[in-house]
Amino acid sequence: MGSSPPVTFRPFAGPSDFPAMVACANASFALDQTRFFRTVDDVARDYAAFTACVPQHDVWIAQAGDNIAGYVRAWHWEQVDGLQLYGQFAVVAPPWRRRGIGTQLHAWLEARQRAMAAARGHPGPHAHHAFVTQGETARAALLEKSGYRPERYFFTMVRPTLNDIADFALPAGVEVRAVQPDHYRAIREAHHRAFRSHWGAVPPDDDDYERWLDSTVFQPHLWQVAWDVATNEVAGQVRAYIDTTWNAGNARQRGWTEFISVDERWRRRGLARALISRSLRAQADAGMHESGLGVDSTNAHGAQGIYEDCGFIVEQRNCVFRKPLEPGAAGSATSLLRRPAP
Protein backbone atom coordinates (compact mmCIF):
# COMPACT_ATOMS: atom_id res chain seq x y z
CA MET A 1 0.00 0.00 0.00
CA GLY A 2 2.95 2.30 -0.54
CA SER A 3 3.17 5.00 2.13
CA SER A 4 0.24 3.69 4.16
CA PRO A 5 0.74 3.93 7.93
CA PRO A 6 1.97 0.89 9.84
CA VAL A 7 -0.61 -1.21 11.66
CA THR A 8 -0.33 -1.71 15.40
CA PHE A 9 -2.61 -3.65 17.73
CA ARG A 10 -4.27 -2.43 20.91
CA PRO A 11 -7.25 -2.99 23.21
CA PHE A 12 -10.53 -1.11 23.04
CA ALA A 13 -10.08 2.43 24.41
CA GLY A 14 -13.72 3.34 25.05
CA PRO A 15 -16.54 5.17 23.24
CA SER A 16 -14.04 7.37 21.41
CA ASP A 17 -13.32 4.31 19.26
CA PHE A 18 -16.91 3.94 18.07
CA PRO A 19 -16.83 6.22 14.98
CA ALA A 20 -13.74 4.52 13.51
CA MET A 21 -15.07 1.07 14.43
CA VAL A 22 -18.36 1.79 12.66
CA ALA A 23 -16.54 3.06 9.56
CA CYS A 24 -14.40 -0.09 9.47
CA ALA A 25 -17.36 -2.43 10.00
CA ASN A 26 -19.61 -0.77 7.42
CA ALA A 27 -16.86 -0.83 4.80
CA SER A 28 -16.32 -4.53 5.48
CA PHE A 29 -20.06 -5.24 5.35
CA ALA A 30 -20.40 -3.42 2.03
CA LEU A 31 -17.55 -5.29 0.36
CA ASP A 32 -18.90 -8.66 1.53
CA GLN A 33 -22.47 -7.69 0.59
CA THR A 34 -23.77 -8.79 3.98
CA ARG A 35 -26.32 -5.94 3.99
CA PHE A 36 -25.49 -5.27 7.62
CA PHE A 37 -25.25 -1.59 8.53
CA ARG A 38 -24.42 0.03 11.86
CA THR A 39 -24.41 3.52 13.33
CA VAL A 40 -22.43 4.92 16.24
CA ASP A 41 -25.63 5.03 18.30
CA ASP A 42 -26.28 1.34 17.57
CA VAL A 43 -22.82 0.31 18.71
CA ALA A 44 -22.89 2.54 21.80
CA ARG A 45 -26.23 1.06 22.86
CA ASP A 46 -25.02 -2.52 22.31
CA TYR A 47 -21.74 -2.05 24.14
CA ALA A 48 -23.52 -0.49 27.12
CA ALA A 49 -25.76 -3.57 27.39
CA PHE A 50 -23.10 -6.29 27.19
CA THR A 51 -22.94 -8.72 30.11
CA ALA A 52 -20.97 -11.62 28.57
CA CYS A 53 -18.32 -9.35 27.05
CA VAL A 54 -16.07 -6.77 28.71
CA PRO A 55 -14.94 -4.62 25.77
CA GLN A 56 -11.75 -3.42 27.46
CA HIS A 57 -10.63 -7.07 27.69
CA ASP A 58 -12.56 -8.77 24.87
CA VAL A 59 -12.06 -6.38 21.92
CA TRP A 60 -8.78 -6.16 19.99
CA ILE A 61 -8.16 -3.45 17.41
CA ALA A 62 -5.78 -3.11 14.45
CA GLN A 63 -4.94 0.60 14.28
CA ALA A 64 -3.65 2.24 11.07
CA GLY A 65 -2.91 5.90 11.60
CA ASP A 66 -6.22 7.59 12.44
CA ASN A 67 -8.21 4.66 11.07
CA ILE A 68 -9.18 1.27 12.41
CA ALA A 69 -8.10 -1.36 9.89
CA GLY A 70 -9.96 -4.18 11.62
CA TYR A 71 -11.12 -5.47 14.98
CA VAL A 72 -12.49 -8.54 16.71
CA ARG A 73 -14.74 -9.12 19.71
CA ALA A 74 -15.24 -12.19 21.90
CA TRP A 75 -18.12 -13.19 24.21
CA HIS A 76 -19.53 -16.35 25.73
CA TRP A 77 -22.81 -18.13 26.51
CA GLU A 78 -24.11 -21.57 27.47
CA GLN A 79 -26.59 -23.78 25.62
CA VAL A 80 -29.32 -25.66 27.47
CA ASP A 81 -27.33 -28.87 26.93
CA GLY A 82 -24.33 -27.42 28.79
CA LEU A 83 -22.11 -26.68 25.78
CA GLN A 84 -20.01 -23.58 26.48
CA LEU A 85 -19.80 -21.39 23.39
CA TYR A 86 -17.45 -18.51 22.62
CA GLY A 87 -18.74 -16.22 19.91
CA GLN A 88 -16.77 -13.92 17.68
CA PHE A 89 -17.25 -10.80 15.61
CA ALA A 90 -14.51 -9.95 13.11
CA VAL A 91 -14.10 -7.33 10.39
CA VAL A 92 -11.20 -6.00 8.31
CA ALA A 93 -11.68 -2.90 6.15
CA PRO A 94 -11.14 -3.46 2.38
CA PRO A 95 -7.88 -1.44 2.01
CA TRP A 96 -6.23 -3.57 4.68
CA ARG A 97 -7.15 -7.04 3.52
CA ARG A 98 -4.67 -9.68 2.30
CA ARG A 99 -1.94 -8.33 4.59
CA GLY A 100 -2.22 -10.87 7.40
CA ILE A 101 -4.20 -8.54 9.68
CA GLY A 102 -7.23 -10.83 9.85
CA THR A 103 -4.98 -13.79 10.69
CA GLN A 104 -3.31 -11.91 13.54
CA LEU A 105 -6.62 -10.66 14.91
CA HIS A 106 -8.02 -14.18 14.78
CA ALA A 107 -5.01 -15.58 16.64
CA TRP A 108 -5.60 -13.06 19.42
CA LEU A 109 -9.32 -13.87 19.45
CA GLU A 110 -8.80 -17.61 19.90
CA ALA A 111 -6.22 -17.06 22.61
CA ARG A 112 -8.57 -14.68 24.40
CA GLN A 113 -11.39 -17.22 24.24
CA ARG A 114 -9.14 -19.95 25.66
CA ALA A 115 -8.32 -17.59 28.53
CA MET A 116 -12.03 -16.79 29.03
CA ALA A 117 -12.81 -20.51 29.21
CA ALA A 118 -10.06 -21.10 31.75
CA ALA A 119 -11.21 -18.20 33.92
CA ARG A 120 -14.85 -19.34 33.89
CA GLY A 121 -13.89 -22.79 35.13
CA HIS A 122 -16.72 -24.76 33.50
CA PRO A 123 -15.82 -28.41 32.89
CA GLY A 124 -16.99 -28.13 29.29
CA PRO A 125 -17.26 -29.05 26.55
CA HIS A 126 -16.24 -25.73 25.00
CA ALA A 127 -16.28 -24.54 21.38
CA HIS A 128 -15.37 -21.53 19.29
CA HIS A 129 -18.48 -20.35 17.40
CA ALA A 130 -18.68 -18.07 14.33
CA PHE A 131 -21.71 -17.05 12.29
CA VAL A 132 -20.60 -16.28 8.72
CA THR A 133 -22.87 -14.71 6.11
CA GLN A 134 -22.87 -15.80 2.49
CA GLY A 135 -20.61 -13.00 1.25
CA GLU A 136 -17.88 -13.39 3.86
CA THR A 137 -15.80 -15.76 1.75
CA ALA A 138 -12.43 -14.57 3.05
CA ARG A 139 -13.52 -15.03 6.65
CA ALA A 140 -14.91 -18.50 5.92
CA ALA A 141 -11.61 -19.49 4.31
CA LEU A 142 -9.65 -18.23 7.33
CA LEU A 143 -11.86 -20.20 9.70
CA GLU A 144 -11.57 -23.41 7.72
CA LYS A 145 -7.80 -22.98 7.53
CA SER A 146 -7.84 -22.59 11.33
CA GLY A 147 -9.65 -25.90 11.83
CA TYR A 148 -13.28 -24.76 11.97
CA ARG A 149 -15.94 -26.85 10.29
CA PRO A 150 -19.50 -26.01 9.14
CA GLU A 151 -21.91 -26.97 11.91
CA ARG A 152 -25.27 -25.65 10.69
CA TYR A 153 -26.66 -23.64 7.80
CA PHE A 154 -29.09 -20.77 8.23
CA PHE A 155 -30.93 -18.97 5.45
CA THR A 156 -32.04 -15.37 5.22
CA MET A 157 -35.37 -15.44 3.41
CA VAL A 158 -37.24 -12.49 1.93
CA ARG A 159 -40.76 -11.83 0.72
CA PRO A 160 -40.01 -9.35 -2.09
CA THR A 161 -43.38 -7.59 -1.89
CA LEU A 162 -46.19 -7.30 0.60
CA ASN A 163 -48.84 -7.66 -2.08
CA ASP A 164 -51.18 -10.65 -2.45
CA ILE A 165 -50.75 -11.89 1.10
CA ALA A 166 -52.50 -15.23 1.52
CA ASP A 167 -55.37 -15.35 4.01
CA PHE A 168 -54.51 -18.29 6.27
CA ALA A 169 -57.27 -18.71 8.87
CA LEU A 170 -56.60 -19.16 12.57
CA PRO A 171 -57.40 -22.67 13.83
CA ALA A 172 -60.44 -23.02 16.07
CA GLY A 173 -59.73 -22.51 19.76
CA VAL A 174 -57.28 -19.62 19.57
CA GLU A 175 -57.67 -15.86 19.35
CA VAL A 176 -55.24 -13.03 18.65
CA ARG A 177 -55.24 -10.35 21.32
CA ALA A 178 -53.74 -6.88 21.36
CA VAL A 179 -50.50 -7.09 23.34
CA GLN A 180 -50.62 -5.53 26.79
CA PRO A 181 -47.72 -4.91 29.21
CA ASP A 182 -48.93 -7.66 31.54
CA HIS A 183 -48.57 -10.11 28.61
CA TYR A 184 -44.85 -9.49 28.04
CA ARG A 185 -43.39 -12.09 30.38
CA ALA A 186 -45.85 -14.81 29.33
CA ILE A 187 -45.02 -14.12 25.67
CA ARG A 188 -41.29 -14.32 26.34
CA GLU A 189 -41.58 -17.51 28.40
CA ALA A 190 -43.78 -19.20 25.78
CA HIS A 191 -41.17 -18.50 23.11
CA HIS A 192 -38.43 -20.07 25.25
CA ARG A 193 -40.57 -23.14 25.91
CA ALA A 194 -41.27 -23.59 22.21
CA PHE A 195 -37.55 -23.48 21.39
CA ARG A 196 -36.11 -25.47 24.29
CA SER A 197 -35.61 -28.58 22.14
CA HIS A 198 -34.22 -26.71 19.11
CA TRP A 199 -30.58 -26.75 18.04
CA GLY A 200 -28.59 -24.08 19.87
CA ALA A 201 -31.27 -23.36 22.50
CA VAL A 202 -30.19 -21.05 25.34
CA PRO A 203 -31.82 -21.02 28.80
CA PRO A 204 -33.88 -17.94 29.72
CA ASP A 205 -32.29 -15.30 31.89
CA ASP A 206 -33.94 -12.50 33.90
CA ASP A 207 -31.25 -10.02 32.84
CA ASP A 208 -31.98 -10.90 29.20
CA TYR A 209 -35.65 -10.17 29.85
CA GLU A 210 -34.89 -6.65 31.08
CA ARG A 211 -32.60 -5.98 28.11
CA TRP A 212 -35.29 -7.28 25.76
CA LEU A 213 -37.75 -4.70 27.08
CA ASP A 214 -35.27 -1.96 26.11
CA SER A 215 -34.15 -3.49 22.80
CA THR A 216 -34.81 -2.05 19.35
CA VAL A 217 -36.68 -5.22 18.31
CA PHE A 218 -39.22 -4.70 21.10
CA GLN A 219 -42.12 -3.37 19.01
CA PRO A 220 -45.29 -4.94 20.47
CA HIS A 221 -47.60 -2.86 18.27
CA LEU A 222 -46.50 -5.12 15.38
CA TRP A 223 -46.73 -8.46 17.20
CA GLN A 224 -49.27 -11.14 16.45
CA VAL A 225 -49.84 -13.31 19.54
CA ALA A 226 -52.42 -16.11 19.61
CA TRP A 227 -53.88 -17.30 22.90
CA ASP A 228 -55.40 -20.68 23.69
CA VAL A 229 -58.95 -19.74 24.67
CA ALA A 230 -59.42 -22.77 26.91
CA THR A 231 -56.21 -22.43 28.93
CA ASN A 232 -55.50 -18.68 28.55
CA GLU A 233 -51.91 -19.52 27.58
CA VAL A 234 -49.87 -18.33 24.61
CA ALA A 235 -50.35 -20.75 21.71
CA GLY A 236 -48.10 -19.05 19.16
CA GLN A 237 -46.50 -15.78 18.21
CA VAL A 238 -44.76 -13.73 15.54
CA ARG A 239 -42.89 -10.73 16.91
CA ALA A 240 -42.19 -8.59 13.85
CA TYR A 241 -40.08 -5.44 13.98
CA ILE A 242 -38.78 -2.68 11.73
CA ASP A 243 -35.06 -1.85 11.73
CA THR A 244 -34.94 1.76 10.59
CA THR A 245 -31.13 1.80 10.62
CA TRP A 246 -30.96 -1.24 8.33
CA ASN A 247 -33.54 0.29 6.03
CA ALA A 248 -31.66 3.59 5.81
CA GLY A 249 -28.35 1.84 5.13
CA ASN A 250 -29.84 -0.40 2.44
CA ALA A 251 -32.35 2.05 0.94
CA ARG A 252 -35.17 -0.42 1.58
CA GLN A 253 -38.48 -0.53 3.41
CA ARG A 254 -38.18 -3.98 4.92
CA GLY A 255 -39.86 -5.36 8.00
CA TRP A 256 -38.67 -8.49 9.78
CA THR A 257 -41.02 -11.41 10.42
CA GLU A 258 -39.09 -12.88 13.30
CA PHE A 259 -39.38 -14.68 16.66
CA ILE A 260 -41.85 -17.15 15.24
CA SER A 261 -42.88 -19.94 17.62
CA VAL A 262 -45.81 -22.26 18.22
CA ASP A 263 -46.48 -24.27 21.37
CA GLU A 264 -46.11 -28.02 20.89
CA ARG A 265 -49.85 -28.55 21.45
CA TRP A 266 -50.74 -26.26 18.55
CA ARG A 267 -48.28 -27.39 15.91
CA ARG A 268 -49.38 -28.71 12.50
CA ARG A 269 -52.72 -26.88 12.66
CA GLY A 270 -51.85 -23.90 10.47
CA LEU A 271 -51.29 -21.46 13.32
CA ALA A 272 -47.84 -20.31 12.16
CA ARG A 273 -49.08 -19.53 8.64
CA ALA A 274 -52.06 -17.61 10.02
CA LEU A 275 -49.90 -15.49 12.33
CA ILE A 276 -47.32 -14.84 9.62
CA SER A 277 -50.00 -13.61 7.21
CA ARG A 278 -51.36 -11.27 9.88
CA SER A 279 -47.81 -10.07 10.61
CA LEU A 280 -47.16 -9.31 6.94
CA ARG A 281 -50.31 -7.21 6.78
CA ALA A 282 -49.25 -5.29 9.89
CA GLN A 283 -45.88 -4.56 8.31
CA ALA A 284 -47.56 -3.39 5.10
CA ASP A 285 -49.83 -1.11 7.14
CA ALA A 286 -46.67 0.33 8.75
CA GLY A 287 -45.33 1.30 5.31
CA MET A 288 -43.04 -1.63 4.60
CA HIS A 289 -42.63 -2.93 1.03
CA GLU A 290 -40.99 -6.30 1.81
CA SER A 291 -40.18 -8.59 4.73
CA GLY A 292 -37.29 -10.79 5.79
CA LEU A 293 -36.61 -13.57 8.28
CA GLY A 294 -33.95 -16.06 9.30
CA VAL A 295 -34.44 -19.83 9.39
CA ASP A 296 -32.47 -22.90 10.42
CA SER A 297 -32.20 -24.86 7.16
CA THR A 298 -32.64 -28.16 9.03
CA ASN A 299 -35.44 -27.05 11.35
CA ALA A 300 -37.17 -30.22 12.52
CA HIS A 301 -40.65 -28.73 12.16
CA GLY A 302 -40.44 -27.79 8.48
CA ALA A 303 -40.17 -24.06 9.08
CA GLN A 304 -38.65 -23.30 5.68
CA GLY A 305 -41.61 -24.91 3.89
CA ILE A 306 -44.05 -22.88 6.00
CA TYR A 307 -42.26 -19.68 5.08
CA GLU A 308 -42.23 -20.61 1.41
CA ASP A 309 -46.00 -21.14 1.61
CA CYS A 310 -46.19 -17.55 2.91
CA GLY A 311 -44.24 -16.18 -0.08
CA PHE A 312 -40.67 -16.10 1.23
CA ILE A 313 -37.68 -17.13 -0.88
CA VAL A 314 -34.05 -17.73 0.08
CA GLU A 315 -31.87 -14.62 -0.27
CA GLN A 316 -28.69 -15.61 1.62
CA ARG A 317 -27.18 -18.91 2.72
CA ASN A 318 -25.21 -18.46 5.92
CA CYS A 319 -23.21 -20.86 8.03
CA VAL A 320 -22.31 -21.45 11.67
CA PHE A 321 -18.73 -22.67 12.00
CA ARG A 322 -17.45 -24.29 15.17
CA LYS A 323 -14.17 -25.64 16.46
CA PRO A 324 -13.44 -27.45 19.75
CA LEU A 325 -11.86 -25.15 22.34
CA GLU A 326 -9.36 -26.17 24.97
CA PRO A 327 -9.15 -23.70 27.90
CA GLY A 328 -5.74 -22.03 28.10
CA ALA A 329 -3.72 -19.83 30.38
CA ALA A 330 -5.00 -16.31 31.01
CA GLY A 331 -2.79 -13.57 29.65
CA SER A 332 -1.69 -15.47 26.56
CA ALA A 333 -3.79 -13.41 24.17
CA THR A 334 -2.30 -9.96 24.58
CA SER A 335 1.28 -11.12 24.07
CA LEU A 336 0.46 -12.47 20.60
CA LEU A 337 0.14 -9.16 18.83
CA ARG A 338 2.73 -6.69 20.00
CA ARG A 339 4.49 -6.57 16.64
CA PRO A 340 3.25 -4.36 13.77
CA ALA A 341 1.60 -5.94 10.76
CA PRO A 342 3.67 -5.98 7.57
Q: How many domains does the chain have?
A: 2
Determine the pLDDT at residue 249.
93
CATH number at residue 96: 3.40.630.30
Note whether residue 328 is domain-resident.
yes
Determine the pLDDT at residue 2.
53
User: Are 196 and 103 in a shared domain?
Assistant: no
User: Are 177 and 306 in a shared domain?
Assistant: yes
User: Are 330 and 290 in a shared domain?
Assistant: no
pLDDT digits (tens, 9 = 90+) for 69-113: 999 999 999 999 999 999 999 999 999 999 999 999 999 999 999
User: Are 298 and 330 in a shared domain?
Assistant: no
User: Are 142 and 75 in a shared domain?
Assistant: yes
CA-wise closest residue to 176 among 264, 265, 276 = 276
Note whether residue 36 is domain-resident.
yes
Determine the pLDDT at residue 330.
47
Note whether residue 223 is domain-resident.
yes
Structural domain for 203, as ranges: 167-310
Determine the pLDDT at residue 187.
98
User: Are 12 and 146 in a shared domain?
Assistant: yes
User: Are 14 and 108 in a shared domain?
Assistant: yes
State if pTM tops 0.75.
Answer: yes
pLDDT digits (tens, 9 = 90+) for 6-34: 999 999 999 999 999 999 999 999 999 99
Note whether residue 2 is domain-resident.
no
User: Are 332 and 268 in a shared domain?
Assistant: no
Q: What are phi and psi of 288, to 5 degrees?
A: -80, 150
> Which residues of the chain have a pLDDT value below 70?
1-3, 329-342
Note whether residue 1 is domain-resident.
no
User: Are 285 and 243 in a shared domain?
Assistant: yes
User: Are 42 and 72 in a shared domain?
Assistant: yes
User: Are 110 and 47 in a shared domain?
Assistant: yes
